[in-house]
Amino acid sequence: MPLQLPYLDVWIDGVSMADAAGLIRRLEVDERADDVSSFSMTLDQAPGEGDWTALADGRFQLLHRITIGFGLGEQTSNAPATKDVVFDGYITAVEPVFGVDRMSESSLELSGLDASCVMHLEERQRRFEGLADSDIVKQIYGEYGFATPSDTIESTQPVRDPSRGTMLQRGTDADFIRMLARRNGFEAYVERAPGPVKEGAAASAECNGHFHRPRPEQTAQPTLALTPHQAPTLIEMRARWESHRPAEIRADHIDERTRRIRSATITQPRFPRMGKTGRGDIIKSRLAAIAPKRADLVPTGLAYVDVPLDETEVGNLAWSDFLAADWLVAATARVRAGMYPQILRARRPVDVQGAGKLLDGTWYIKSVRHRWIWDDEQNEYELDTEMVRDA
């Protein structure tokens, strides 16, 4: 497709920043599947009447809400044909820089975290009884005003019997939710819901809390292509796969009541594979040649799990370890955003084309870094991505 013109939208406390394109030199937004998302921004700064312009601007202060969106449109158009809001959160650090050349080298550096950062202010100690992990997470999200539609929270088992055990929190709510996500092999993040940006300082009212397995089976985003060479969507790509990681996870735990061993073995992901051949298949096909005396060997990881209540929880903990080990291929890529038909997002699948039979097909995007540079020397909007496949 023809090269599109990028657009930038920024709101401060829900109010559109009309001077964003002229004031912002550089902007990076990191969307992540397994951690908090963040932004960093460089603003022009110059001496004013008794103060520095950007530093004295009341908009750029700690814990002011900042919302960031990107758009793409045809060169002949005055408006984006497609756009998406990729970040909604708060300014958490302000750093004025005064360069040797006061006019050209001075700037105001802003950085911040997505709306979930409000859950990382207070360390708490409390216990949860009679609840599944998903119920605990839903309760905590609700305490901050994050919506939890049915498609953003995946139900978990078991529901803990208070007579047998409780879930104890020591730390911030954000850390606690991420710990529960790791136990279940889930992702936990906050993402802005579709819809117009509304005026106000609280981002939580417009964001959903997510707690679920990765979803590579969703409808894939438009294809990223390494061809044609003159105008590819993918500027560059680097992929890696390796042999020595488990293809099977076995978990064991001694039941504290019956004194029997509870066990679980995980050999397949809990979502459809993104290809036909996983790491276990590759190793199995080579063992007869490289280790004829151990042709039945299975690359196995052993997990001695911590105080689960029943076999379901043993399996969940084993699945969590398996998920981390089962990603067969990891890749990094740089994307020419202006050649892509929409705003590429993390936490979603995407198709890749032009990388050969082993690498073409569906990938899951773990993170996207949106890089906006707009000044006299360099104008660009590009993306850095981290992608994975399990086959």
Q: pLDDT for 313-352, tens place per residue?
A: 889 999 999 999 999 999 999 999 999 999 999 999 999 9
Residues 171 and 119 sit within 8 Å (Cβ to Cβ): no
Radius of gyration of the chain from Cα atoms?
24
What's the CA gap between 88 and 114, in Å, rounded?
A: 6
Percent of the chain, pLDDT > 70?
98
What's the CA gap between 243 and 11, in Å, rounded?
A: 47
CA distances from 65 to 204, 233, 370 (A): 10, 33, 19
pLDDT grade for 25, boundaries at 50, 70 and 90 = very high
pLDDT grade for 170, boundaries at 50, 70 and 90 = very high
Inform me whether the pLDDT recorded for 67 exceeds 80.
yes
What's the CA gap between 8 and 123, in Å, rounded?
A: 36
What's the CA gap between 243 and 290, in Å, rounded?
A: 13
| pLDDT of amino acid 260 | 83
Average pLDDT over residues 55-83: 91
Inform me whether the pLDDT recorded for 307 exceeds 70.
no
Residues 58 and 24 sit within 8 Å (Cβ to Cβ): no
Average pLDDT over residues 149-178: 92
Amino acid identity at 15:
V
* Least reliable range by pLDDT among 17-21, 145-149, 193-197: 17-21
| Arithmetic mean of pLDDT over the chain | 93
| pLDDT of amino acid 312 | 87
Average pLDDT over residues 359-380: 90
| pLDDT of amino acid 229 | 78
Inform me whether the pLDDT recorded for 70 exceeds 70.
yes
Inform me whether the pLDDT recorded for 263 exceeds 70.
yes
Residues 274 and 362 sit within 8 Å (Cβ to Cβ): yes
pLDDT grade for 376, boundaries at 50, 70 and 90 = low
> Is pLDDT larger for residue 219 or for residue 166?
219
| pLDDT of amino acid 155 | 97
Average pLDDT over residues 176-200: 96
Please tell me whether the peptide bond between 158 and the residue prior to it is cis, using omega within 30 degrees of 0. yes
**What tokens were used for 175?**
């850390």
| pLDDT of amino acid 374 | 84
pLDDT grade for 117, boundaries at 50, 70 and 90 = very high
pTM, 2 dp? 0.93
pLDDT grade for 134, boundaries at 50, 70 and 90 = very high
| pLDDT of amino acid 228 | 86
Inform me whether the pLDDT recorded for 113 exceeds 80.
yes
pLDDT grade for 141, boundaries at 50, 70 and 90 = very high
Inform me whether the pLDDT recorded for 370 exceeds 90.
yes
What's the CA gap between 165 and 356, in Å, rounded?
A: 51
